[in-house]
Amino acid sequence: MAKPELSRNPETEIEDSSSLKGTLTSVMILGVILIVTWVGIYSLFLDRS
């Protein structure tokens, strides 16, 4: 019968927190790109109407 592993490795929690910082940065950059794109398209819409 297999023994379930109950021990956790504390090093993975440290890696997770540093990984989340990179994820937040990537999401913020993507959000800024989307906002700039939408503002540009909206300004084109206003110019042509």
Give 14-23 contacts, CB < 8 A, sequence gap 24+: none
What is the enclosing helix (H) or strand (E) of 43? helix 10-48
Name the DSSP class of 4: P
Read off the tokens for 8. 């956790």
Give pTM, 2 decimals. Answer: 0.58
Q: What is the pLDDT of residue 31?
A: 98
Question: pLDDT tens digit string along 11-37?
Answer: 555 556 667 889 999 999 999 999 999
